[in-house]
Amino acid sequence: MSATLIPETGAGTAASAMRRNFWRGVWRVMRRKPSRMAGVVILIGFVLMAVVGPMVLPEHLPSNPDALTRPPSWDHWFGTDPQGRDVLALVIKGSRYVLLTAAVTALITVVVGTAIGLYSGFKRGRWDTVLMRLTDMKLTIPGLPLLLVLATVWQFGSPWQMGLVLGLLGWGGVARAVRSQTLSLRERGFIEAARGLGLSTTHIIGRELLPSMAPYIAMNMLISVTGAVYSQVGLFFLGVLPYESDNWGVMLNLAVFQAGAMITPYALGYLLAPLLAILLLTLGIVLVVDAMDEIFNPRLREE
């Protein structure tokens, strides 16, 4: 009993110590550059905005027909839209769809891309050929035109649908990269050793290969969030997806084509608010990816 307990306790302590060290390292990396902290704060802010924002704001934002397309003021920091609604409130309400879609897209991109890349790279042979030709084919299909065609048959009413489609269109790059990493890692000594010890394939992939690639995969996940945001906002901007007044893409479209933001300064706030939101989100992600790079890359950490 005790013989089995002692090593477990020991392993547990070692693991928790490692975790402590890891978080200490994270904190050190973060502190080194304040911009990285800013990145984390921005991302937390966006998550809070998407989760809490729509709960705090009324379900239907009040409109004021006497204040249509007004410039920024103390009452309305980014002015009002052509319906007389507060632009900032619209951006906050619209963040849930955008961020949920982005999260779903990122998850699917990474899960599908990693699974195919790992399997392909580890198994090699016939399956590798089949899967990689499939990936090549997928990579040759231009994303935006395909989305435009898909939008005519599918309405993408919910962020889950939108995320699913964007995710299924975006895994190609990740699959290719993960495969090449796998091909390189599987020839390394520690994998050879694991094989020599007779460990199962599941163990080798799950415990040896995946953790080595985790940072890379996590960074890809964050970067695909920005890609997903651009794609969906672009589609809504082009007007091929159903209209939802608080969607960031729809806001950009209406700012230019309905409110005349390129002509009259009154509508500038309406144009700038969703643009700034996208810019800030991208900035937050870039800063966090920069931090992650250092956290997971021992050589950078040592410097």
Partner 1 sequence: MKRLAAVVTLLGLATATAACSGGSTNTSGSGGGGGGGLFTTIDVTRPGLEATAPANPYHPKGNSFVGYNAMRIGWVKNHLTDPNQALPGIAASWEIAPDNSSITLKLQPNAKWSDGKPVTAEDVKMSIGIAYTQGSTAFSITPGAAGAAADVTVVDPQTLKITQDMDNPSPTFARNVLDTNVLPAHVWGSVLPADFWDKLKTARGDGADAEKAREEISALGEKVLAFAPPKDVSAGPFVLERVNPSEALLVKNKNFFNAANVAPAQVKFLNYTGNEQIWNYLTQGKLDQAGFTATPSDVMNRIKQAPGNEIIKGYSPVAVSMAFNQSKKPYDNVHVRRGLAYLIDRDQVTKVASPEGGTPALTTSGIHQKAAQAWIPETVPQLEPYKADVAKAEAEFEKAGLSKKDGKWTLADGSAWKVSMHAPSGFTDWLSAQENIKSQLIAAGVDAEVVTTADYPLYLQELADGKYDVGFWLMALGPAPYDIFQRLYGASNGWTNVGNKVTHNAPGKNGNWMSGPEEIEVGGEKINPGELTAKLNTVGAEEAKPIMAQLAKAANQDLPVIQLWDYVNTQFVNNSRFTGWPKDDELLRGGGKVLMSGVWIQQGLIKAKQ
Amino acid, res. 122: F
Residue 135 or 247 having the CB closest to partner 1: 247
Distance CA 241, CA 152 (A): 8
DSSP code of residue 205: I
Q: Which residues are within 8 A (CB) of 71 and not within 5 positions of it... i.e. 6 or more apart?
A: 79, 265, 266, 268, 269
Residue 58 or 189 having the CB closest to partner 1: 58
Report the nearest approach of partner 1 to the CB of residue 94 (Å): 14
Q: Compute φ and ψ for 80, nearest 5 degrees.
A: -125, 160
Q: What is the largest CA-CA distance in the chain?
A: 79
Does position 248 interact with partner 1 (CB under 8 A)? The reply is: no
Rule CB under 8 A: choose which of 32, 242, 276, 297 binds partner 1: 242
Report the nearest approach of partner 1 to the CB of residue 84 (Å): 8
Residue 86 or 208 having the CB closest to partner 1: 86
Structure tokens at 33: 């550059």
Binding mask 134-173 for partner 1 (x = CB under 8 A): -----------------xx---------------------
Kindly give the interhelix angle for 87-123 and 210-238, rounded to the nearest 10 degrees: 140
Distance CA 171, CA 103 (A): 14
Distance CA 247, CA 225 (A): 17
> Could you give the 3-state DSSP secondary structure of residue 254?
helix
Q: Strand pairing partners for 86?
A: 80
Helices (H), 124-158: 125-140, 143-153
Report the nearest approach of partner 1 to the CB of residue 141 (Å): 21
What is the C-alpha radius of gyration for the chain, rounded to an integer number of angstroms? 24
Does position 77 interact with partner 1 (CB under 8 A)? The reply is: no
Binding mask 93-132 for partner 1 (x = CB under 8 A): ----------------------------------------
Report the nearest approach of partner 1 to the CB of residue 69 (Å): 6
Query: How many residues sit in the footprint of partner 1 (CB under 8 A)?
Result: 27
Identify which range of 35-43, 86-94, 178-186, 264-272 contacts partner 1 by CB under 8 A: 264-272
Rule CB under 8 A: choose which of 243, 276, 279, 300 binds partner 1: 243
Residue 72 or 167 having the CB closest to partner 1: 72
Which positions touch partner 1 (CB under 8 A)?
Answer: 60, 62-63, 65, 68-69, 82-84, 151-152, 239-240, 242-243, 245, 254, 256-260, 262-264, 266-267
